[in-house]
Chains A and B, each alone.
Chain A
Amino acid sequence: MRLRAGEGLLGETFAHFRACGRGRDECVVFWTGPLGDREVADEVVHPKHSASRSEYVVDPAWAVAFALDGARRRRSVRLQVHVHPGAAFHSITDDEHSIVSKPGALSLVVPNGANGPVSLEGCYLAELQRDGSWRSVPPAKLIELKP
C-alpha cells in the first residue's frame, strides 16, 4: 500500500519540528486520514508532548482524547513522524512505543532537526511487519507527495 498526501503536509511537519524542537529536541506529529481510505493522509496533528534531545513522550491523557476524537470523526493515523537532532534511524524505543501497532504501520524519522530542505530525502522510513518487527523502506517507495 502506498500513502498519498499533499506536499503541504510535509512542509507543515517540518515547520512544527523547527518551531517545537528548535533543532535541539525531538518532536513528533501524526498524519491522519479518513478511516475508509487507508491510502490517504490529509491532516497533521501535533500532540501535546514532552521532549529532550534524545526522547519525546506523548501526554497520556492527550492520547486517549485523541483516540476518542478519532473514533468520533472516523479518522486514523497513517504516518507517525518524529525528528532527531542528528541522524535518522528507528530506535528500539520507536519500535516498541509507536502509536499504531498494526501491520503496515509507517514511522518516518526526519534527521538534523528538520533544518534541511523540506523533503523525504535523507529521512528514514520503517514499516511494521506481521511478525512485529520493523523493516526499513525507502520513503519514496511508500509515500507519494502530491503538489
Chain B
Amino acid sequence: MSYWLNKFGPLLGLLLVYAFFAVVAPPTFRSVGNLELMARQTAVVGTATVGMTLVIITAGIDLSVGSLVALTTMIIAFLLNQQFPPLIAALAGVGSAALFGLVNGTIVIGHLGRVAAICLGIGTLVGLLRWPALGTSPAGWASGILAGLVIGSLVLWFNERFMKRIPVTPFIVTLAMLLVVRGFAKLLGNEQKINAPRTWLKELLSTLPAEWNWMLLPPGVWALGLLAALAGVLLYYTKLGRHIFAVGSNEKTARLCGVAVERVKLYVYTLCGATAGLAGLLQFSRLNIGDPVSAVGLELDVIAAVVIGGGSLSGGEGSILGSLVGALIMTVIRSGCTQWGLPNYTQEIITGTIIVCAVALDRLRHQPAE
C-alpha cells in the first residue's frame, strides 16, 4: 500500500489539483481544448525536466537550462535565415546545447583545464580570422586552424602532465554557464531577436490542423512522451541507470563497487544539455522566433517540477514520471488560476506553497517508521 502511495503520490496530487480547479473554475477549464493547451504549455518545461531529473538523481543540479533553451532558439533561427534546411538547423541547435552540457559535466568532474585548452584553441582560430592581414582567406583558415591546434594541444599537454583534477560544485559551474550561454545567445543576434522563416518546425507544437486530428496532440507532445519513456527505460532497465542512482545515493559506495563515477556524471550533464536543447526546439516551435532573453528562470520551474515529483536535491531519488507530473501540476495551477480569474501573483504563491508542501511530505514519508 505505502509502496504504491510512494510511487503514485505525485499523480494523486495532480488529480486532486485538477479536480479542485474543475470544480471551482469556469467550465472552459474542463474543455478538451484546454487539456490540449495545457499539454502544449507543459511540453517545454516537461522536456527539460527529463535531463534535469537525471542530474538531480546524481545529487547535482543544472542552472544553465533556461539559457540553453534561449541559445537553441537563437541558433535555429540564425541557421534558418542562412537557408539551412530545418532538420539541420534543429540538429545543430540541440547539438550545441548538448555540447554545453558536456562542458558543464567536464568542469564538474574537474577537467577545467581540458575545457580551457579547447577554448584557447578556438579563440586563436577566431582571432586570426578576424586579423585584417589574413582574414577569411584560405590562408587565413589554414594558419588559424594550425595555430589553434598547436596552442590548444600545448595547453592540453601541460594540463594533463602537471595539473590535478579539481572537481567544482555543480551549482557554481552551471551558474557560471547560465551567464556564459546567455551571453552567447545575445552575441548571435547582436542582442536582437531573430525572426525566422516559417517551416515545418512551427508545426511541432502548434494546434493540429483538421486533417491531422487523429493525432490528438501535436507531435512535440508525443515526442516528449517518447523521450520520457526512453529515459525511464534508461533509468530503470540499464546499467547506466542503476549507476546514476548509485552515484547520487552514495558516491563512495559507487566508487567502491567500481562504478566509473566521473563518466556517469559526464553522461548525465550532456543528456541534460541535450534535453534542454530539445526544450529549446519546442520553445522555438511555439514562437517561431529566436529570442535571446526568453526562458529566463526556466531552470527554476524545471527544478521545482523535479522536486514536486519526488526528486531529492541530496540525490538518489527521483523519477521521470514524477517530474513530468510535477510539471503538469504547475501548468494546471497556472491555467486554473487564469481561468478562475485570479491575478498572476496568486499562481506564484500557490506554486511556491505546493513546492514546500511536496518537500515536507517527502521528508515525512522518509522518516523511519518508529
Decide whether A and B are members of one complex. Answer: no
Please give the residue numbers on chain B whose beta carbons come within 8 Å of chain A beta carbons, in ascending order.
Answer: none
Partner-B contacts on A (CB < 8 A): none
